[in-house]
Structure 1
Amino acid sequence: MSREVFSGRYTADVDGADITVFLIGMRANRWWRLGRVARIASRMGPMLKHLAEHADAGLLGSESWFGRTTILVSYWQSPEHLQRFAADRDAPHLEPWREFQKSFAGSGDVGVWHETYQVRPGDSEAVYSDMPLFGLAAASAHVKIGPGRNTARQRLGR
Protein backbone atom coordinates (compact mmCIF):
# COMPACT_ATOMS: atom_id res chain seq x y z
CA MET A 1 0.00 0.00 0.00
CA SER A 2 1.39 3.36 -1.02
CA ARG A 3 1.31 5.94 1.73
CA GLU A 4 1.44 9.42 0.21
CA VAL A 5 3.55 11.86 2.21
CA PHE A 6 1.79 15.15 2.83
CA SER A 7 4.33 17.97 2.68
CA GLY A 8 3.95 20.63 5.35
CA ARG A 9 2.29 20.61 8.73
CA TYR A 10 -1.07 19.01 9.46
CA THR A 11 -3.19 18.34 12.50
CA ALA A 12 -6.14 16.14 13.44
CA ASP A 13 -9.62 17.61 13.77
CA VAL A 14 -11.99 15.49 15.83
CA ASP A 15 -14.85 17.96 15.32
CA GLY A 16 -15.52 18.51 19.02
CA ALA A 17 -16.12 14.83 19.76
CA ASP A 18 -14.85 12.74 22.65
CA ILE A 19 -12.30 10.16 21.53
CA THR A 20 -11.44 6.94 23.31
CA VAL A 21 -7.79 5.97 22.89
CA PHE A 22 -7.06 2.31 23.52
CA LEU A 23 -3.49 0.99 23.68
CA ILE A 24 -3.00 -2.74 23.65
CA GLY A 25 -0.04 -4.98 23.19
CA MET A 26 1.87 -8.05 24.13
CA ARG A 27 5.42 -8.85 25.14
CA ALA A 28 7.33 -12.00 24.29
CA ASN A 29 8.82 -12.67 27.73
CA ARG A 30 10.29 -15.97 26.62
CA TRP A 31 11.06 -15.37 22.95
CA TRP A 32 12.35 -18.92 22.58
CA ARG A 33 8.73 -20.07 23.07
CA LEU A 34 8.02 -18.69 19.59
CA GLY A 35 5.06 -20.98 18.91
CA ARG A 36 3.14 -19.68 21.92
CA VAL A 37 4.06 -16.08 21.10
CA ALA A 38 2.95 -16.48 17.46
CA ARG A 39 -0.31 -18.14 18.48
CA ILE A 40 -1.29 -15.18 20.62
CA ALA A 41 -0.04 -12.58 18.12
CA SER A 42 -2.05 -14.22 15.31
CA ARG A 43 -5.32 -13.36 17.06
CA MET A 44 -5.10 -9.60 16.42
CA GLY A 45 -5.42 -9.79 12.61
CA PRO A 46 -8.93 -11.30 12.60
CA MET A 47 -10.05 -8.77 15.22
CA LEU A 48 -8.85 -5.83 13.11
CA LYS A 49 -10.41 -7.33 9.97
CA HIS A 50 -13.73 -7.73 11.78
CA LEU A 51 -13.59 -4.14 13.03
CA ALA A 52 -12.78 -2.84 9.53
CA GLU A 53 -15.79 -4.70 8.15
CA HIS A 54 -18.15 -3.52 10.93
CA ALA A 55 -17.94 0.29 11.14
CA ASP A 56 -20.80 0.26 13.66
CA ALA A 57 -18.41 -1.42 16.15
CA GLY A 58 -16.92 2.04 16.71
CA LEU A 59 -13.26 1.71 15.74
CA LEU A 60 -12.16 4.94 14.05
CA GLY A 61 -8.63 3.87 13.16
CA SER A 62 -5.43 2.28 14.43
CA GLU A 63 -1.66 2.07 14.06
CA SER A 64 0.57 -0.81 15.16
CA TRP A 65 4.22 -1.60 15.78
CA PHE A 66 5.82 -5.01 16.18
CA GLY A 67 8.84 -6.19 18.11
CA ARG A 68 9.48 -8.06 21.32
CA THR A 69 6.87 -5.73 22.78
CA THR A 70 4.06 -4.91 20.36
CA ILE A 71 1.66 -2.00 20.54
CA LEU A 72 -1.58 -1.18 18.80
CA VAL A 73 -2.88 2.36 19.25
CA SER A 74 -6.56 2.55 18.39
CA TYR A 75 -9.12 5.33 18.36
CA TRP A 76 -12.74 4.58 19.23
CA GLN A 77 -16.02 6.49 19.20
CA SER A 78 -16.57 5.77 22.89
CA PRO A 79 -15.55 3.47 25.73
CA GLU A 80 -18.96 1.80 25.35
CA HIS A 81 -18.13 0.82 21.75
CA LEU A 82 -14.82 -0.66 22.91
CA GLN A 83 -16.42 -2.55 25.80
CA ARG A 84 -19.25 -3.79 23.59
CA PHE A 85 -16.71 -5.23 21.11
CA ALA A 86 -14.71 -6.86 23.91
CA ALA A 87 -17.81 -8.63 25.26
CA ASP A 88 -19.50 -9.45 21.93
CA ARG A 89 -19.86 -13.23 21.62
CA ASP A 90 -20.09 -12.88 17.81
CA ALA A 91 -16.89 -10.82 17.48
CA PRO A 92 -13.43 -12.41 17.35
CA HIS A 93 -12.24 -11.14 20.75
CA LEU A 94 -14.02 -12.89 23.58
CA GLU A 95 -13.02 -16.46 22.67
CA PRO A 96 -9.29 -15.67 22.18
CA TRP A 97 -9.30 -13.74 25.47
CA ARG A 98 -10.83 -16.70 27.28
CA GLU A 99 -8.31 -19.04 25.65
CA PHE A 100 -5.44 -16.76 26.73
CA GLN A 101 -6.73 -16.73 30.31
CA LYS A 102 -7.09 -20.51 30.35
CA SER A 103 -3.93 -21.58 28.48
CA PHE A 104 -1.36 -18.80 28.76
CA ALA A 105 -2.05 -16.42 31.64
CA GLY A 106 0.36 -17.06 34.48
CA SER A 107 2.81 -19.05 32.35
CA GLY A 108 5.16 -16.09 32.02
CA ASP A 109 5.71 -16.83 28.32
CA VAL A 110 3.71 -13.91 26.94
CA GLY A 111 2.53 -10.75 28.65
CA VAL A 112 -0.57 -8.90 27.49
CA TRP A 113 -1.42 -5.34 28.47
CA HIS A 114 -3.83 -2.54 27.64
CA GLU A 115 -4.64 1.04 28.66
CA THR A 116 -7.75 3.09 27.90
CA TYR A 117 -8.01 6.88 27.85
CA GLN A 118 -11.08 9.06 27.41
CA VAL A 119 -10.09 12.31 25.68
CA ARG A 120 -12.51 15.22 25.83
CA PRO A 121 -12.70 17.93 23.15
CA GLY A 122 -9.91 20.46 23.61
CA ASP A 123 -7.76 18.04 25.63
CA SER A 124 -5.64 16.75 22.77
CA GLU A 125 -3.54 18.17 20.00
CA ALA A 126 -1.58 16.64 17.18
CA VAL A 127 0.93 17.69 14.57
CA TYR A 128 2.17 15.72 11.58
CA SER A 129 5.03 17.23 9.60
CA ASP A 130 5.87 15.66 6.23
CA MET A 131 4.07 12.45 7.19
CA PRO A 132 1.64 10.11 5.47
CA LEU A 133 -1.89 10.04 6.84
CA PHE A 134 -1.32 8.71 10.35
CA GLY A 135 -2.71 8.26 13.85
CA LEU A 136 -5.55 10.45 15.05
CA ALA A 137 -5.56 12.38 11.76
CA ALA A 138 -6.21 9.12 9.89
CA ALA A 139 -8.96 8.23 12.38
CA SER A 140 -10.65 11.65 12.20
CA ALA A 141 -9.89 14.52 9.82
CA HIS A 142 -6.48 15.46 8.40
CA VAL A 143 -6.30 19.28 8.34
CA LYS A 144 -3.54 21.57 7.07
CA ILE A 145 -2.21 23.78 9.86
CA GLY A 146 -2.92 27.44 9.28
CA PRO A 147 -3.77 30.59 11.22
CA GLY A 148 -5.16 29.79 14.66
CA ARG A 149 -3.62 26.30 14.70
CA ASN A 150 0.10 27.08 14.48
CA THR A 151 1.02 26.26 18.09
CA ALA A 152 0.14 23.40 20.42
CA ARG A 153 -1.58 25.91 22.70
CA GLN A 154 -3.80 27.06 19.83
CA ARG A 155 -4.59 23.50 18.77
CA LEU A 156 -5.58 22.76 22.36
CA GLY A 157 -7.90 25.76 22.27
CA ARG A 158 -6.19 27.51 25.15
Structure 2
Amino acid sequence: MSEQVIPGRNTAAAEGGIVVFHIGIRINRFRAVRNWFPAFASMPRMLRELSQDKGSGLLGYKVLYGGPRDFYVVQYWASKEQLLAYAYEQDKQHRPAWAAFNRRARNGKGHVGIWHETFIVPAGSYESIYVNMPAYGLAAATGVIPVGRRGDTATQRLKSGDRAS
Protein backbone atom coordinates (compact mmCIF):
# COMPACT_ATOMS: atom_id res chain seq x y z
CA MET A 1 0.00 0.00 0.00
CA SER A 2 1.34 3.40 -0.94
CA GLU A 3 1.86 5.85 1.88
CA GLN A 4 1.54 8.83 -0.46
CA VAL A 5 -1.02 11.30 0.85
CA ILE A 6 -3.88 11.97 -1.54
CA PRO A 7 -4.91 15.59 -1.03
CA GLY A 8 -8.48 16.66 -0.39
CA ARG A 9 -11.61 14.69 0.35
CA ASN A 10 -11.89 11.24 -1.20
CA THR A 11 -13.98 8.12 -0.88
CA ALA A 12 -13.59 4.43 -1.73
CA ALA A 13 -14.29 3.42 -5.31
CA ALA A 14 -16.17 0.31 -4.12
CA GLU A 15 -19.25 -0.67 -6.12
CA GLY A 16 -22.02 -2.93 -4.92
CA GLY A 17 -21.97 -5.08 -1.83
CA ILE A 18 -18.85 -6.06 0.06
CA VAL A 19 -17.86 -8.44 2.84
CA VAL A 20 -15.77 -7.21 5.75
CA PHE A 21 -13.97 -9.96 7.63
CA HIS A 22 -12.05 -9.39 10.87
CA ILE A 23 -9.77 -12.13 12.12
CA GLY A 24 -7.42 -11.99 15.08
CA ILE A 25 -5.21 -13.82 17.47
CA ARG A 26 -4.76 -13.26 21.18
CA ILE A 27 -1.69 -14.60 22.92
CA ASN A 28 -2.89 -15.68 26.34
CA ARG A 29 0.44 -17.06 27.53
CA PHE A 30 3.59 -15.58 25.97
CA ARG A 31 5.83 -18.37 27.19
CA ALA A 32 3.80 -21.01 25.32
CA VAL A 33 5.41 -20.07 22.00
CA ARG A 34 4.88 -23.49 20.44
CA ASN A 35 1.11 -23.04 20.93
CA TRP A 36 0.69 -19.54 19.50
CA PHE A 37 3.54 -19.01 17.04
CA PRO A 38 2.30 -21.45 14.33
CA ALA A 39 -1.11 -19.71 14.25
CA PHE A 40 0.57 -16.30 14.24
CA ALA A 41 2.90 -17.30 11.39
CA SER A 42 0.16 -18.85 9.24
CA MET A 43 -1.68 -15.56 8.55
CA PRO A 44 1.05 -13.95 6.39
CA ARG A 45 1.19 -17.12 4.24
CA MET A 46 -2.59 -17.04 3.74
CA LEU A 47 -2.59 -13.33 2.90
CA ARG A 48 0.25 -13.81 0.40
CA GLU A 49 -1.58 -16.74 -1.22
CA LEU A 50 -4.83 -14.76 -1.47
CA SER A 51 -3.10 -11.62 -2.77
CA GLN A 52 -1.38 -13.57 -5.53
CA ASP A 53 -4.66 -15.16 -6.67
CA LYS A 54 -6.61 -12.35 -8.35
CA GLY A 55 -9.71 -14.56 -8.53
CA SER A 56 -9.76 -15.34 -4.80
CA GLY A 57 -12.20 -12.54 -4.00
CA LEU A 58 -9.91 -10.84 -1.49
CA LEU A 59 -10.01 -7.15 -2.40
CA GLY A 60 -7.50 -6.00 0.21
CA TYR A 61 -6.56 -6.09 3.86
CA LYS A 62 -4.96 -4.19 6.72
CA VAL A 63 -2.95 -5.80 9.53
CA LEU A 64 -3.54 -4.08 12.87
CA TYR A 65 -1.91 -4.25 16.28
CA GLY A 66 -4.35 -4.29 19.18
CA GLY A 67 -1.84 -4.37 22.01
CA PRO A 68 0.95 -6.64 23.21
CA ARG A 69 -1.28 -9.73 23.10
CA ASP A 70 -3.60 -8.92 20.20
CA PHE A 71 -3.10 -8.81 16.43
CA TYR A 72 -5.81 -8.76 13.83
CA VAL A 73 -6.50 -8.32 10.16
CA VAL A 74 -9.38 -6.46 8.53
CA GLN A 75 -10.10 -8.03 5.14
CA TYR A 76 -12.36 -6.81 2.35
CA TRP A 77 -13.93 -9.49 0.14
CA ALA A 78 -15.97 -9.33 -3.05
CA SER A 79 -18.48 -11.91 -1.77
CA LYS A 80 -19.26 -14.24 1.11
CA GLU A 81 -19.16 -17.16 -1.34
CA GLN A 82 -15.51 -16.43 -2.16
CA LEU A 83 -14.60 -16.02 1.51
CA LEU A 84 -16.26 -19.32 2.42
CA ALA A 85 -14.78 -21.10 -0.61
CA TYR A 86 -11.29 -20.15 0.54
CA ALA A 87 -12.01 -21.31 4.08
CA TYR A 88 -12.91 -24.82 2.87
CA GLU A 89 -10.54 -25.37 -0.08
CA GLN A 90 -8.42 -28.42 0.69
CA ASP A 91 -5.41 -27.31 -1.38
CA LYS A 92 -5.05 -23.81 0.10
CA GLN A 93 -3.19 -22.57 3.20
CA HIS A 94 -6.25 -22.11 5.43
CA ARG A 95 -7.45 -25.71 5.87
CA PRO A 96 -4.16 -27.17 7.12
CA ALA A 97 -3.53 -24.13 9.33
CA TRP A 98 -7.01 -24.45 10.85
CA ALA A 99 -6.61 -28.19 11.43
CA ALA A 100 -3.19 -27.65 13.06
CA PHE A 101 -4.59 -24.87 15.26
CA ASN A 102 -7.41 -27.13 16.44
CA ARG A 103 -4.95 -29.92 17.31
CA ARG A 104 -2.75 -27.51 19.29
CA ALA A 105 -5.79 -25.90 20.96
CA ARG A 106 -6.95 -29.24 22.32
CA ASN A 107 -3.59 -29.68 24.06
CA GLY A 108 -2.76 -26.01 24.64
CA LYS A 109 -4.93 -25.27 27.65
CA GLY A 110 -6.08 -21.89 26.28
CA HIS A 111 -2.60 -20.50 25.61
CA VAL A 112 -3.79 -18.84 22.41
CA GLY A 113 -7.15 -17.59 21.23
CA ILE A 114 -8.44 -16.73 17.80
CA TRP A 115 -11.56 -14.91 16.73
CA HIS A 116 -13.29 -13.75 13.60
CA GLU A 117 -16.30 -11.65 12.65
CA THR A 118 -17.92 -11.49 9.22
CA PHE A 119 -20.06 -8.59 8.04
CA ILE A 120 -22.09 -8.86 4.82
CA VAL A 121 -22.57 -5.25 3.71
CA PRO A 122 -25.05 -4.64 0.88
CA ALA A 123 -24.70 -1.76 -1.54
CA GLY A 124 -26.01 1.44 -0.01
CA SER A 125 -25.12 0.33 3.52
CA TYR A 126 -21.59 1.71 3.72
CA GLU A 127 -19.83 4.95 2.99
CA SER A 128 -16.36 6.31 3.51
CA ILE A 129 -14.36 9.51 3.55
CA TYR A 130 -10.61 10.04 3.66
CA VAL A 131 -9.26 13.59 4.04
CA ASN A 132 -5.60 14.15 3.20
CA MET A 133 -4.88 10.44 3.68
CA PRO A 134 -3.11 7.74 1.75
CA ALA A 135 -5.42 5.07 0.35
CA TYR A 136 -6.63 3.33 3.52
CA GLY A 137 -9.10 0.64 4.51
CA LEU A 138 -11.76 0.05 1.89
CA ALA A 139 -10.18 2.66 -0.40
CA ALA A 140 -6.86 0.78 -0.34
CA ALA A 141 -8.79 -2.36 -1.32
CA THR A 142 -10.96 -0.86 -4.07
CA GLY A 143 -9.37 2.41 -5.18
CA VAL A 144 -9.93 6.08 -4.43
CA ILE A 145 -12.24 8.58 -6.11
CA PRO A 146 -13.04 12.21 -5.29
CA VAL A 147 -15.77 12.41 -2.67
CA GLY A 148 -17.96 14.66 -4.86
CA ARG A 149 -18.58 11.77 -7.28
CA ARG A 150 -20.60 10.04 -4.57
CA GLY A 151 -21.83 13.05 -2.59
CA ASP A 152 -20.40 15.60 -0.18
CA THR A 153 -22.12 14.22 2.93
CA ALA A 154 -22.38 10.76 4.45
CA THR A 155 -26.14 10.79 3.76
CA GLN A 156 -25.56 11.54 0.07
CA ARG A 157 -22.87 8.87 -0.24
CA LEU A 158 -25.15 6.26 1.35
CA LYS A 159 -27.94 7.14 -1.10
CA SER A 160 -25.41 7.00 -3.95
CA GLY A 161 -24.59 3.44 -2.93
CA ASP A 162 -28.26 2.47 -3.30
CA ARG A 163 -28.02 3.23 -7.03
CA ALA A 164 -24.90 1.04 -7.42
CA SER A 165 -26.82 -2.15 -6.59
TM-score (norm 1): 0.91
Q: Deviations over 1:63-84 (max 9, x none)?
A: 0113421110001111110010
Partner of 2:70: helix, strand, or coil? coil
Aligned equivalents of 1:87 and 1:2: distance in 2?
32
| RMSD of aligned alpha carbons | 1.7
Counterpart AA for 2:154: A
- Judged with a 3 Å threshold, the aligned counterparts in structure 2 of structure 1 residues 117 and 147 are, in CA distance, closer, same or farther, namely closer
Q: Deviations over 1:86-130 (max 9, x none)?
A: 101111000010111111256211110001111111100111112
Partner of 1:25: helix, strand, or coil? strand
Q: How does 1:64-79 map to 2 (within 5 A)?
A: 64-66=63-65, 67=67, 68-79=69-80
Aligned equivalents of 2:34 and 2:130: distance in 1?
38
Q: How does 1:69-108 map to 2 (within 5 A)?
A: 69-105=70-106, 107-108=109-110
Please report how far the alpha carbon of residue 2 of structure 1 lies from its aligned counterpart in structure 2 after TM superposition. 5.0
- Judged with a 3 Å threshold, the aligned counterparts in structure 2 of structure 1 residues 2 and 55 are, in CA distance, closer, same or farther, namely closer
Counterpart AA for 1:57: S
Please report how far the alpha carbon of residue 22 of structure 1 lies from its aligned counterpart in structure 2 after TM superposition. 0.6
Counterpart AA for 2:12: A
Q: Residue 2 of structure 2 contacts residue 135 of structure 2 at CA under 8 Å; is this kept in 1?
A: no
- Judged with a 3 Å threshold, the aligned counterparts in structure 2 of structure 1 residues 41 and 147 are, in CA distance, closer, same or farther, namely closer
Counterpart AA for 2:128: A
Task: Determine the structure 2 residue equivalent to 1:115.
Answer: 117
Partner of 1:85: helix, strand, or coil? helix
Q: Residue 8 of structure 2 contacts residue 132 of structure 2 at CA under 8 Å; is this kept in 1?
A: yes
Aligned equivalents of 1:150 and 1:132: distance in 2?
19
Aligned equivalents of 2:142 and 2:80: distance in 1?
17
Q: Residue 135 of structure 2 contacts residue 143 of structure 2 at CA under 8 Å; is this kept in 1?
A: no
Q: Which moved more, 1:86-95 or 1:98-107?
A: 98-107
Structure 2: runs of 5 or more not aligned:
161-165
The question of 1:140 aligning with 2:142 is answered yes
Task: Determine the structure 2 residue equivalent to 1:131.
Answer: 133
Structure number having the greater helix percentage: 2
Counterpart AA for 1:81: Q
Aligned equivalents of 1:4 and 1:136: distance in 2?
16
Give the share of equivalent positions with the same residue, in percent.
39
Aligned equivalents of 1:99 and 1:36: distance in 2?
10
